[in-house]
Each structure stands twice: as C-alpha cells, then as structure tokens.
Amino acid sequence: MFCRNFAVLFLLISAAVARAEPAREIVPVKSRQISQFKVGSDKTVFGALEFIGGIEMTSANPLFGALSAIRFLPDGQSFVAVMDTGHWVEGAVIRDDAGGLEGLSDLTVTPMTDANGEAQLEKWRVDSEGLALREGQAIVSFEQSPRIEIYPYPGFAEARPQGQMALPFPVEELRSNGGIETIAIAPKNGPLRGAAVVVSERSVDKADNLFAGILEGPMKGAFTVVRADPYSVTDGAFLPDGDLLLLERRFNFASGLGMRIRRIAAGDIRPGAVVDGDVMLEADMSYQIDNMEALDVISRPDGEIRVILVSDDNHSILERNLMLEFRLIK
C-alpha cells in the first residue's frame, strides 16, 4: 500500500512540476556597433532607405540566437521577439548619444508553453517563425507544424495559447520548411481594418505564386504574392499608410547570401489578388547582412518611420546575430 501511495504521489508531483510556470532566464548580450552598411563605404542612402546604424550581438549563453521575428512596442525601445526554438524574448535597445543603436539591455528568454501548459521541446512543434502584437493578443505562426496560435498580451510568457486562427487556404499546401513565415497586423484605419495578414515563405500555388491570406475582417480571404526565385519571404510589417513591407532572403553556394525588401501597395491586398511590389533595398555579401529573418516598422512621435532588420544565426558559429536600423525616406 505504501509503495502504491508513493507512486501516486510521485505522479501528482511530477505533473504539477511539468505544468509549473516556464523558467525565465536572463541572457546578457554584448554588442558591437556597425557604422557602415556597405562594407568599406560611407554611403548611407540605399534606395528608399537611409542607414542609421546597427549592432552585432553575441552572448556567452548558448540559449541566445535563432531570432526569427521581432515586434517593437509603442515606445520604440522595448520589444518582443520569438526564436525558432520556441522561446519568447523580451528586451529593449540601448542608444548612444546620437540616437543610434548601441546595444541591448539584458534579455529575458522564456520557453513557450503548449495547450497543456507545458514547455514545448520538439523542434518540429516549436518552430515559431512569425509574431504579431495587438491589444490583448500576441499571435505566433509556427512553420513545421503549421498553425497560428493566439496568446494573451500582456502575459504571453506565462500563458498557454488561448486559441488558433484559421488559414484561408489549405494547410496541406504548405511545405514543411517553407510555410508561414510572416504574420503582420494591418492599420486599423486602412481597408483591411486591422486584420492579421500572413505570407508563406516558399509554399506556392500552381502558378508558382506564394500563398498569402487576410485572416479576418471585411476583406477576409486568400491572395497570392508573386514569387521571385531564388528569394524566400522571411518576415513583413505594415507601414502606417497600409503598404506592406516584405523581407526576403536568398542563398546559394555560387553567390552566397542576399536580402531585399519589397513594398506591396495597400490597395493591392485583397482576396483573389496576385500582388507584387517595388524593391526598396537589395544587398549581397558586400553589405553587413547575414541570414535576415525579422523586420519591423517603428513610427516615431515626430512622424519619422524607422525599419528594423534582425538576422538569425541558427546557433551556428558561421552566422551572426545582427540588428540593422534604417530611416524611410521615400
């Protein structure tokens, strides 16, 4: 009887521990400032963007890295990010006297929890690639196990998902490593009325266009984005005027890494449409880039628009964690 009761008690304690709040960890980060976007050049204007500055980030903590999406809060300093290892990241940027990026405050990293309140561990389940924030909700897109989950905001780091958002196209059409990379919230005063919008990385229809969708609101429905091989979409964010910026990445052994930003007109995004846009910025390995995965837009109180780009080092010594900042000038 004693052994049986002990076994029951052990199971109850184990279950309680498994469902305890996820363990947060403070991750100190060292930063090196980047003053030139094009290596060896003092040029600052690149297409529609002006380079403000950047940082290269490192940490002795092996948890740091794999940043796949970032969203800045209204103060323009604090941010929330996700890693594709299934972790929340909270932190803030530090600026120098000239207002340029100088470093990061110590980051708080917390594992995401599943519907049972347990930390998710398997890579195929936790491949969080996209993040969107709005009042009451932190919305995360997962790639290898395709789904869009809604967490409470604030309070996401301690909470389990509260529900999911349906996609307006068949989930089975998504490639296992090329699914939903981008989720962004449209402006409330635009035609999409604050709807969540998704774009896939490399999943295409019969016409070789990328699957995309408006997930809610009066314009709810699927559309597609013209695919420009060899580029793949890795993130996106809306400008205040309703235009959508898409960050795209390419890689092959012949030409190495590349990235570009495409601007999709607000009026083009509607159900059934095939959208394309002008390239605002394009860069190769002669620029300070790496595996560029995250993009966000910051609207400053004076009306100035900043664009932030972040790279994902895949926890590899061959790749870097970068944060680059630009001013929109056109």
Above pLDDT 90, what percent of the chain?
Answer: 83
| 6 pLDDT above the threshold of 70 | no
User: Where in the chain are the domains?
Assistant: 23-326
List pLDDT tens digits, range 207-234: 999 999 999 999 999 999 999 999 999 9
List pLDDT tens digits, range 25-75: 999 999 999 999 999 999 999 999 999 999 999 999 999 999 999 999 999
Q: Which helix (H) or strand (E) element contains residue 282? A: strand 278-283
| 2 pLDDT above the threshold of 60 | no
| 256 pLDDT above the threshold of 60 | yes
Tell me the whole-structure pTM to 2 decimals: 0.92
CA angle 81, 86, 91 (to 5 degrees): 25
Output the pLDDT for position 1.
45
C-alpha distances in Å from residue 177, one per residue of 144, 172, 302? 6, 13, 40
Burial class (CB in 10 A: 0-12, 13-18, 19+), 226: middle
- The torsion defined by the Cα of 269, 271, 273 and 274, in degrees rounded to 10, comes to 80
Output the pLDDT for position 220.
98
Mean pLDDT on 14-21 = 42
Mean pLDDT on 259-269 = 98
Output the pLDDT for position 330.
83
Residues forming a β-bridge with 211: 224
Give the span between the Cα atoms of 46 and 52, in whole angstroms: 11
Q: Give the tokens for residue 151.
A: 């967490």
Give the span between the Cα atoms of 185 and 41, in whole angstroms: 36
Output the pLDDT for position 41.
98
| 189 pLDDT above the threshold of 90 | yes
The terminus-to-terminus CA distance of the chain in angstroms comes to 77
**DSSP letter assigned to residue 280:** E
Output the pLDDT for position 10.
37
Q: Which CATH class, in words, describes the domain spanning 23-326?
A: mainly beta
| CB 87 within 8 Å of CB 140 | no
Question: How big is the chain, counted in residues?
Answer: 330
